[in-house]
Structure 1
């Protein structure tokens, strides 16, 4: 766990990255040429905002470095250690260029980019924050006071949360593997349980990180992908219910803490379905992963039954286990009447056809 209280920020610089225009291949970076001078109040507030972001488990993720090339965020960050002010400014501009090059779609908004470095428990770190801009702004056109006001509004106001954070810190510089030498993290304020991944342009194209080994995301996405596979490939309502219950049992009751996607497929599917499962789901999860229920905890206690199109029944999993769906293909009128007469069925819901 990162102890932000030990975070010692040495230098901060602020750049601006413009969104992609139609005629351009990607966005454009607009540089500042001076290290920014925060006051103690602003620095403490900034550290508090970083602390708050890092404490949000559902939006803060430990990732791995996938790009350590000459022009990568990882390489620029490493070379910032012990460099002088002019070199820090130069390398921060290269980092701003990386962010600009990641803006390959017009839907990616412009933003201010804070680049800072310092020490965490005597280990060098680099932290970048991108805040989306809500108004036109040019760094060259404002003085320091106006810049402080805008940064406070964009980064530090509790009402303004449209920002992303990348963080890389030294671990063991003698290690051979890059992910043993450094740890890296990302905070994405726009991430929600409805999304499969973090903002790819930021963590991958800009930071050169990968989410493929993050247990929170893998646990959530495997759960969602298996449910989608069941809904798409299984016709019987009771078979769907049984398979989904099997997934929930695996997630809630598996004491080993390890989920093996291939083993789950072999235990619950046969022949053509098993082949299809391997192609559609198993191929995305070639190895076992450590279960982390942070992003699926609510789903394990509340569920949905899809009736028709956008019509769904939602409620506690235990209550949904008492719900059955009967259609014209599997209705048994005599048995249904008997269940009603015996009080086994409490309520019947009918759905009319559109005709």
Structure 2
């Protein structure tokens, strides 16, 4: 499936952390509200998602094997058509589940971006989740006649490094019994894709 005509409706950004030395979970830093992106930022975000999910080498359609209580499918389905407050709460639940699933201390934390919208000419609803690692970098700007170099300690979703993973649940026909009428996709910038998704 090519992710053409991608329209993003809402975006929530949370942060999860590497496990503590005793392997306990650090509580995620949850967003207090939905993101308000400028048209330029939204355009860049949509382009990044379209490029990643339309790639043939690192994007795969997955077989849905878990679709009951607590599954990603169930949570994503509750977010489709929800109001903004319910979307924010559900997005926090997804961030918590990701933090809980990262059992090893070697797995870094990162930003968890939950977004929804429609895709394709048929305006198929979808819910997407991104785990993006935080990086460091520099930004150059001009202040008067001087060039200023600023060190940034918390950038993510940069096109050069592509250190992120994306999962998308698309809903062809929600009137069908689960998991029919639903399609799951995963993109892994490292090229490591599993055989199935929960």
Q: Same fold (TM over 0.5)?
A: yes
In structure 1, C-alpha distance between the alignment counterparts of 2:25 and 2:85, rounded to whole Å: 27
Aligned to 1:154: 156
Q: Counting strand residues as a fraction of each chain, which structure ranks higher?
A: 2
Aligned to 2:50: 51
2:2 and 2:54 in contact (8 A); partners too: no
Aligned to 2:176: 175
Higher RCO (CA < 8 A, seq sep 6+): 2
1:159 Cα deviation from its structure 2 partner: 1.4
1:127 aligns with 2:128: yes
**Secondary structure of the corresponding residue to residue 49 of structure 2:** helix
- How many residue pairs were aligned? 181
* Structure 2 unmatched runs, 5+: 137-151
1:16 aligns with 2:6: no
1:111 Cα deviation from its structure 2 partner: 0.5
1:150 Cα deviation from its structure 2 partner: 7.6
Alignment of 1:202-213 (within 5 A): 209=197
In structure 1, C-alpha distance between the alignment counterparts of 2:111 and 2:11, rounded to whole Å: 13
2:63 and 2:184 in contact (8 A); partners too: yes
Aligned to 1:73: 72
Between Structure 1 and Structure 2, whose CA radius of gyration is higher?
Answer: 1
1:20 and 1:28 in contact (8 A); partners too: no
1:83 Cα deviation from its structure 2 partner: 1.2
1:158 Cα deviation from its structure 2 partner: 2.1
In structure 2, C-alpha distance between the alignment counterparts of 1:177 and 1:77, rounded to whole Å: 13
* Structure 1 unmatched runs, 5+: 136-148, 192-196, 211-355
Aligned to 1:41: 40
**Secondary structure of the corresponding residue to residue 94 of structure 2:** helix
Q: Counting helix residues as a fraction of each chain, which structure ranks higher?
A: 1
Q: Give the structure-1-normalised TM-score.
A: 0.48
1:61 and 1:186 in contact (8 A); partners too: yes
1:130 and 1:164 in contact (8 A); partners too: yes
1:220-261 Cα distance to aligned partner (Å, 9 max, x none)? xxxxxxxxxxxxxxxxxxxxxxxxxxxxxxxxxxxxxxxxxx
Q: Give the structure-2-normalised TM-score.
A: 0.83
RMSD of the TM alignment (CA)? 2.1
Alignment of 1:1-355 (within 5 A): 1-4=1-4, 6-26=5-25, 28-120=27-119, 121-134=122-135, 153-155=155-157, 157-178=158-179, 180-191=180-191, 198=193, 209=197
In structure 2, C-alpha distance between the alignment counterparts of 1:84 and 1:54, rounded to whole Å: 26
